[in-house]
Chain A
């Protein structure tokens, strides 16, 4: 099976650098619909789905490989080697920011810069470290995922109550967007929310932007501060936004912050 099929890779645009856009837990590459067109005018952009999400090849999902973020990071290295060029930028949302860090450590030099959107190296509180959650909270999430089995997992499409005010998502995508095999969703949730990669941050020698939202329960401000203190070449930028998806709710402010950072890196 090709990497392109496995990760449902879509390449567009052309430019002096290649930008990889990696979605987070919950949805798929369509999360980048508002940002990607801006960047495909300047760079070659590579969109993909993590195995188990979106239209990736579900038969490639192996619980042992994807039980930790390392499995996803191996895939990212393969994708970047196959579709990347001399200078590669990794934009990772949420858990994918850490997958990008692990991929970088597996293949030093592969990426010239990381733009991390709402990243967190560890979601669970630990001593002085405030990740924002307790183990019980994460168990609650697994339960919520489970009790939405019936609605999310069947082959039936969810009811779309019209498409008021031109939603950005085409109708053809409404059925697959955010719908993940429930077993895989639970395993991915475990791999994501029970991970602790704080020790890996200090090893990352590549410049990294920490794009932090002002009000985000999944990546609270304390996590952004921690990351800036710990990353050798980290730049923290907080934008005013409620929620965990600034690339959806504040696409303008998000691109401004990313552009400024990339300009500083000469990209």
Chain B
């Protein structure tokens, strides 16, 4: 056998020549071995398309044949070939149509493509998986949108439908206490007023929380303000709310800065309420405010008492986190510090905490200068 004959017969790919109707004319040894038929069983007896799966045969008719006819060649078609023993082999095929002494023949080279086939199937499977995931993500997104809409509606319900009856209760209590009430009735009316006040504060917190969580952030309207005056006023009011507790205010540096005065008051209120709840009742709570030359300001609230554990400190400013130990009924739903942090953030600032047994607990909100 000549070298070139052997090269063709034992080539590293299957080689075959068919008539234009697909009937085999020649097939090399590699091809015969791969498909499980002898050369005699193929040549003159079988057609290429007869070795394909039914799906492949249709494809052969609708794509392979017209392409080969019109284009003269076709490359990289992957089809399943049915071995003589019945199992199928994925094969990649190239074909050229040529003229052999006035007769049209098709010369075909085939490669087994098991790995490529497996890989492509994996690609297709992951593509399908991705498509399913995208569909799921889209569905979830729509669901979230629905929920956000619902939350927004809830905000409306809470702010109007709940606040209105509450102010009626408050006003009623005030009016009644101006009349001829007995001392006993006055005590009850006072309790009603304070409870309504607390409910109002809770509503404010909830509204702020919803606003912040809906991605809009807490709304602030910074304006030139007198920090010392604002904070002394808040501290005076707060002192009345905590009879029997010592609440001090110290101010350093300038007085003028740019911030939302109502929000700063809210921030101080929340920090003081925390300090009163978790600090030692016998030691004082100190509010410090300062404005420096660049008009950036700091508001800090300090108390002595059991330090906040380190692992709690790291999540302290997330919503629904409470300090250790007791919680006064109704005073907190765990939104206070979250709102403090959101207020600082809305001003472009930040809030930090230091807490040790020796130095006590200090919350510091810093606002950058305008």
Contacts and interface: CB of A to CB of B under 8 A. Distances in A.
Interface of A: 24-27, 30-31, 33, 94, 133-134, 136-151, 158-169, 173-174, 177-178, 193, 215-218, 242-245, 248-249
Contacts of A141: 54-55, 58-59
A36 to B, nearest CB: 13
Contacts of B67: 27, 177-178
A167 B58 contact: no
Contacts of B72: 160, 162-167, 169
A174 B71 CA distance: 7
B253 interface: no
A215 B94 CA distance: 24
Interface residues of B, number: 42
Interface stretch (B5-13, B75-83, B190-198, B358-366): B75-83
A159 B121 contact: no
Contact of A148 (B53, B59, B99): B59
Contact of B58 (A30, A31, A151, A217): A217
A243 B62 contact: no
For chain A, what secondary structure do more than half of its interface residues adopt (helix, strand, loop), or is it mixed?
loop
12 contacts: A26-B66, A133-B54, A137-B54, A137-B55, A137-B58, A138-B55, A144-B53, A147-B120, A161-B96, A162-B96, A215-B21, A242-B47
B55 A244 contact: no
Given A136-B54, A149-B124, A177-B70, 4 more contacts: A33-B70, A140-B55, A144-B56, A148-B78
Interface in B28-60: 47, 49, 53-59
Interface of B: 20-22, 47, 49, 53-59, 61-63, 65-67, 69-80, 90, 94, 96-99, 104, 117, 120-121, 123-124
Contacts of A150: 120, 123
A148 B77 contact: yes
B77 A245 contact: no
A168 B97 CA distance: 12
Contacts of B63: 26-27, 148, 178
Contacts of A218: 58, 61-62
B90 to A, nearest CB: 7
